[in-house]
């Protein structure tokens, strides 16, 4: 059975008008407030990571662990991955290996000792006690120097026009959204900006984009079932035929003419027109283009890694990544449960489609994204 890497939350954020006292410097962001609902598509992969090295402590408002504050806090390492790329699994892996907590820009997003995400009705402890910032997403001890922080993603919407993920407005939101963290104030979740100077590094993780697209389809199908949308659940079964039908309908949607216009202006319509679920792949490649631009704009130290790296040599890749994060290695790595780390859904595509996807990536990706990420995965199809 195919392995599905659960990913939570679905982190494309919607807009909310900011209050008058917070409008300065936030007009372009329009609040960036709503935190999406966690949807778990199944506890797969992470159940194979050992949890006996992690303390099992109930998270509640009276917990002494939950009240521990660190005035200065470690510096932030933004963790950039596209939804359904294995973020939750890798963050739990780091918990197991280092015995130290990671963080999240979502204050109430908590990971238990088995790597399962949940949302209590309160925020976890903040990384900084005296200023806005991320929150730790586990009850493990705080790292001393750097804390890996799950960021927001922008432009990962379903059924949306191109200007939601391309163009000047989308690029501005891409550039700014990650320095906002959600926090409850008087029972209301708000989005507060923290100091960009707190961010020193970026960890950028790639996954086979063909696997991402199918995993996103599975994620959406799970939502249909959860919401009682029987029509779509029946129309698009989670198998190759269901995915092909879904992509065909997506590619002739009400946005198809607009996509042709925007992609033509971008210089890659010819390549995109041959790709199933073309908008999904354009979103993925543009997301990583923007991540590299954020890296340059913030002058961050960067490390690139692929899910395949962890699959091929989990020990060496984990050691290299923990070194970048300046984290200790407290435990041995678990057995690899990632398979090859790519081509998980190979049966969902034919050779012509794989080649078309590789050509679209080559046409869209800036050199850093192709050379350091997708080129390593897709070059073999050209």
pLDDT digits (tens, 9 = 90+) for 285-312: 999 999 999 999 999 999 999 999 999 9
Q: With bands split at pLDDT 50, 70 and 90, how would you rate the model's confidence at 70?
A: very low
3-state SS, residue 148: strand
State the average pLDDT over residues 47-52.
42
Q: With bands split at pLDDT 50, 70 and 90, how would you rate the model's confidence at 34?
A: very low
| Contacts of 278 by beta carbon, 8 Å cutoff, 6+ apart | 250, 251, 259, 263, 272, 360
* Calculated CA dihedral for residues 300, 305, 306, 310, nearest 10 degrees: -140
Q: Please give the residue that has the higher pLDDT: either 259 or 30.
A: 259
What is the predicted pLDDT for the residue at 170? 93
Range with the poorest average pLDDT among 113-117, 266-270, 297-301: 113-117
State the average pLDDT over residues 169-191.
88
d(CA 282, CA 263): 9
CB 97 within 8 A of CB 315: no
What is the predicted pLDDT for the residue at 108? 80
* The pLDDT of residue 280 is above 50: yes
Q: With bands split at pLDDT 50, 70 and 90, how would you rate the model's confidence at 236?
A: very high
State the average pLDDT over residues 189-204.
93
Tell me the residue length of the chain.
Answer: 382
Task: Write the pLDDT tens digit of every residue in 119-152.
Answer: 887 888 899 988 999 999 998 999 999 999 998 7
* The pLDDT of residue 2 is above 60: no
What is the predicted pLDDT for the residue at 68? 43
| Mean pLDDT estimate for the chain | 82
Q: How many CA atoms lie within 13 A of 219 on its CB side?
A: 25
Task: Write the pLDDT tens digit of every residue in 315-368.
Answer: 899 999 999 999 989 888 877 778 888 999 999 999 999 999 999 999 999 999
d(CA 290, CA 156): 12
* The pLDDT of residue 370 is above 60: yes
What is the predicted pLDDT for the residue at 318? 92
State the average pLDDT over residues 89-114.
90
Range with the poorest average pLDDT among 8-17, 145-154, 281-290: 8-17
Q: Could you count the other beta carbons within 10 Å of the beta carbon of residue 62?
A: 7
Q: With bands split at pLDDT 50, 70 and 90, how would you rate the model's confidence at 201?
A: very high
Q: Please give the residue that has the higher pLDDT: either 215 or 11.
A: 215
* The pLDDT of residue 58 is above 80: no
* The pLDDT of residue 59 is above 80: no
């Amino acid at each position: 059975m195919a392995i599905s890497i659960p990913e939570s939350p679905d982190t494309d954020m919607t807009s909310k008008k900011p209050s008058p006292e917070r409008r300065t410097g936030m007009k372009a962001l329009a609040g960036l407030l709503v935190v999406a609902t966690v949807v778990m598509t199944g506890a797969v992969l992470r159940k194979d990571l050992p949890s006996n090295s992690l303390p099992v402590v109930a998270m509640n408002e009276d917990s002494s662990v939950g009240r521990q504050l660190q005035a200065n806090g470690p510096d932030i390492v933004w963790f950039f991955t596209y939804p359904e790329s294995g973020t939750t699994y890798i963050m739990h892996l780091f918990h197991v290996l280092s015995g130290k907590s990671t963080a999240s820009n979502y204050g109430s997003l908590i990971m238990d000792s088995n790597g399962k995400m949940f949302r209590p009705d309160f925020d976890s402890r903040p990384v900084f006690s005296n200023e806005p910032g991320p929150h730790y997403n586990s009850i493990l001890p705080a790292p001393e120097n750097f804390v890996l922080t799950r960021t927001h993603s922008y432009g990962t919407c379903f059924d949306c026009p191109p200007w939601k993920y391309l163009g000047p407005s989308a690029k501005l939101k891409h550039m700014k959204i990650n320095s906002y963290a959600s926090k409850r104030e008087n029972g209301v979740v708000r989005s507060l900006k923290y100091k960009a100077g707190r961010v020193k590094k970026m960890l950028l993780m790639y996954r086979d984009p063909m696997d991402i697209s199918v995993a996103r389809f599975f994620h959406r199908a799970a939502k249909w079932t959860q919401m009682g949308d029987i029509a779509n659940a029946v129309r698009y079964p989670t198998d190759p035929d269901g995915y092909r039908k879904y992509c065909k309908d997506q590619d002739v949607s009400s946005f198809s003419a607009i996509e042709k216009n925007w992609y033509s202006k971008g210089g890659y319509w010819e390549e995109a027109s041959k790709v199933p679920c073309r908008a999904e792949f354009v979103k993925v490649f543009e997301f990583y283009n923007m991540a590299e631009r954020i890296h340059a704009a913030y002058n961050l130290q960067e490390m690139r890694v692929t899910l395949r790296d962890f699959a091929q040599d989990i020990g060496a890749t984990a050691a290299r990544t923990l070194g970048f994060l300046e984290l200790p290695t407290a435990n041995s790595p678990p057995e690899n449960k990632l398979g090859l780390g790519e081509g998980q859904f190979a049966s969902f595509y034919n050779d012509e489609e794989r080649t078309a996807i590789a050509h679209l990536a080559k046409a869209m990706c800036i050199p850093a994204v192709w050379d350091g990420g997708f080129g390593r995965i897709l070059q073999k199809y050209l």
